């Protein structure tokens, strides 16, 4: 059963991401259940491992966060609340 967490107001991106990463680590160690986080954050860019600073036309318009995922830039705007899931996919879909 997934735990639900609601973060009211605008959540600061890096502290929220760090909390989610810590939750995923706890899940991997068997200390936490799957989770769904309901939240909003200010508009920002996330920069993947292929992102180049020269690709942003207005690099100072919104904060940019290096997130370590693949790809280039992704713009995350305030389109309303988002749901972020922390699911144990390896436990759900075993291969081999």
Domain ranges of the chain: 3-90
18 closest CA partner among 65, 53, 52: 65
Superfamily for the 3-90 domain? Bira Bifunctional Protein; Domain 2 (3.30.930.10)
- Per residue in 83-96, pLDDT tens? 787 777 766 666 55
* Distance of alpha carbon 28 from alpha carbon 87, whole angstroms: 10
Q: Is the pLDDT of residue 49 over 90?
A: yes
Q: For the full predicted model, state whether its pTM sits above 0.75.
A: yes
The per-residue pLDDT for range 65-82, each reduced to its tens digit, is: 998 888 999 988 766 677
User: Which candidate, 36, 43, 40, places its Cα nearest to that of 10?
Assistant: 40
Q: How many CA atoms lie within 13 A of 55 on its CB side?
A: 13
């Amino acid at each position: 059963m997934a735990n639900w967490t609601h973060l009211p107001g605008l959540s600061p991106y890096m502290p929220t991401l760090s909390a989610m990463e810590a939750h995923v680590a706890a899940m991997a160690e068997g200390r936490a259940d799957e989770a769904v986080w309901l939240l909003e954050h200010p508009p920002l860019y996330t920069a993947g491992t292929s992102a180049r600073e020269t690709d942003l036309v207005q690099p100072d318009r919104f904060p940019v966060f290096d997130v370590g995922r693949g790809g280039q830039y992704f713009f995350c705007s305030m389109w309303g609340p988002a749901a972020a899931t922390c699911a144990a996919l390896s436990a759900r879909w075993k291969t081999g």
